[in-house]
């Protein structure tokens, strides 16, 4: 979700620019080669894109070491989550997820007529997987598991995830939302695709919006069993992965080394910001993503407003906490300075 426009805020405050740390984007601009690929694709924009997204699905498949028939692409991974809900749920069925988690989940459930079943996070801001298992009913059709979790940044260990997946009936689809997978450093946190991608009822969602720097072009992908991926490919809005998006994604995928370099910078800054902000907010959970969570409870909105007054846009969740995206070192310094005066 977009949040406050930095240009408007800068104008309002009379600052040369405002800093946006609200949407979990990586701050380093498009990857090398992307702008050129976009320009080239734009030259043929009077033509429809490849509806089957064949070349891009093959590029993803090569990268992951799997067959392209296990992949579907969409207008962001959020669209794919919605398509999955549409193909699995009828009105009255249940979609289970931990809360607080990605804000789109309740919207996705509502648009399909499914009932949202939210299981509160633990006191440590993690998924309560035992409680989630216990909340499965005959009506549960889909479970969204977000690791690392947006907005708390916490991630699920391999043992816990395996135990949970084993507890889920075979006819319930488990969607592992790994939008922030590239920022994981804890070796106990598994790559969901490598660990569980072979299971018939597991689908993994990934995106090029975060580490791959293509949020504005809207490309997500899912990996599931061929039948699941084929079903999703049938229901996606035709041509929803645009020609420009396909070209940009193909160019971005050639930049894996640069992505790794950028992720390392973000991770180093995440550690620095976490250490510094814990001086002010001691119970900040350890993040495995490109953002940190400040559990400020009733003070969240006020903190968000105070940061904005200093030209830093963060994401407050009223009554709960504030999510702050990791930016460049300078942007993070501006945030830490704003936080020190706000708290
Ligand atoms: N999953 C999670 C957990 C997210 O935080 C986001 C973006 N904020 C998405 C999915 C969707 O990303 P996109 O639609 O840009 O691929």
Ligand 1 center from residue 224 Cα (angstroms)? 18
* Mean pLDDT, all residues of the chain: 97
Ligand 1 center from residue 79 Cα (angstroms)? 9
335 pLDDT higher than 70: yes
| Ligand 1, atom nearest to 219 Cα | 16
Residue with tokens 């298992």: 133
Q: Is 192 in the pocket of ligand 1 (CB under 6 A)?
A: no
Q: Is 179 in the pocket of ligand 1 (CB under 6 A)?
A: yes
Q: What is the pLDDT of residue 267?
A: 98
Neighbouring residues of 43: CB distance < 8 A, sequence distance ≥ 6: none
1 pLDDT higher than 80: no
* Cα within 13 Å of Cα(58), Cβ side: 5
Q: Is 177 in the pocket of ligand 1 (CB under 6 A)?
A: yes
Q: Is 78 in the pocket of ligand 1 (CB under 6 A)?
A: yes
Q: Is 149 in the pocket of ligand 1 (CB under 6 A)?
A: no
pTM, full prediction: 0.97
Q: Is 219 in the pocket of ligand 1 (CB under 6 A)?
A: no
Strand partners, 202: 174
Q: Whose CA is nearest to atom 14 of ligand 1?
A: 76
> What single string gives the DSSP state of each residue in 8-49?
HHHHHHT-S--EE-SS---TT-SPTTHHHHHHHHHTTTTSPP
| Ligand 1, atom nearest to 218 Cα | 15
In the three-class reduction of DSSP (H, G, I as helix; E, B as strand; rest coil), residue 85 is classed as: helix
Q: Is 153 in the pocket of ligand 1 (CB under 6 A)?
A: no
Q: What is the pLDDT of residue 337?
A: 98
| Ligand 1, atom nearest to 23 Cα | 8
- Domains of the chain in start order, with CATH, are 6-30+257-342 (3.90.1150.10), 34-253 (3.40.640.10)
| Ligand 1, atom nearest to 77 Cα | 16
Q: What is the pLDDT of residue 4?
A: 81
Residue 40 carries which DSSP code? H
Tell me: the pLDDT tens digits for 77-134? 999 999 999 999 999 999 999 999 999 999 999 999 999 999 999 999 999 999 999 9
Q: Whose CA is nearest to atom 11 of ligand 1?
A: 78
Q: What is the pLDDT of residue 236?
A: 94
Q: What is the pLDDT of residue 2?
A: 54
Q: What is the ipTM of this complex?
A: 0.99
Determine the average pLDDT of the residues in 290-312: 97
Neighbouring residues of 117: CB distance < 8 A, sequence distance ≥ 6: 94, 95, 96, 97, 135, 137, 140
């Amino acid at each position: 979700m977009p949040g406050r426009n930095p240009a408007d805020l800068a104008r309002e405050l009379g600052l040369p620019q405002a800093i946006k740390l609200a949407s979990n984007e990586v701050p380093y601009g498009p990857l090398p080669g992307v702008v050129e690929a976009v320009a080239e694709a734009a030259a043929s924009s009077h033509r429809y894109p490849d509806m089957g997204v064949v070349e891009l699905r093959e590029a993803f498949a090569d990268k992951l070491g799997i067959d392209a028939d296990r992949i579907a692409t969409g207008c962001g991974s959020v669209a794919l989550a919605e398509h999955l809900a549409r193909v699995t749920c009828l009105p009255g069925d249940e979609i289970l997820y931990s809360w607080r988690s990605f804000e789109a989940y309740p919207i996705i459930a509502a648009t399909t007529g499914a009932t949202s079943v939210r299981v509160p996070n633990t006191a440590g801001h993690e998924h309560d997987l035992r409680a989630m298992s216990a909340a499965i009913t005959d009506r549960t059709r889909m479970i969204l598991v977000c690791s690392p979790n947006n907005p708390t940044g916490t991630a699920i260990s391999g043992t816990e995830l395996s135990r949970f997946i084993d507890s889920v009936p075979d006819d319930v689809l488990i969607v592992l939302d790994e939008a922030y997978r590239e920022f994981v450093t804890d070796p106990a946190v598994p790559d969901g695709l490598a660990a569980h991608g072979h299971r018939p009822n597991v689908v993994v969602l990934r995106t090029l919006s975060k580490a791959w720097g293509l949020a504005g072009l809207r490309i997500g992908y899912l990996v599931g069993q061929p039948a699941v991926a084929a079903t999703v490919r049938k229901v996606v809005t035709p041509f929803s992965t645009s020609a420009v998006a396909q070209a940009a994604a193909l160019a971005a995928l050639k930049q894996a080394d640069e992505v790794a370099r950028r992720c390392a910078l973000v991770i180093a800054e995440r550690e620095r910001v976490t250490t510094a902000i814990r001086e002010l907010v001691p119970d900040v959970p350890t993040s495995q993503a490109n953002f940190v969570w400040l559990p400020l409870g009733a003070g969240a909105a006020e903190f968000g407003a105070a940061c904005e007054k200093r030209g830093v846009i963060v994401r407050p969740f009223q009554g709960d906490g504030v999510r702050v995206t990791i930016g460049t070192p300078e942007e993070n310094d501006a945030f830490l300075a704003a936080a020190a005066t706000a708290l």
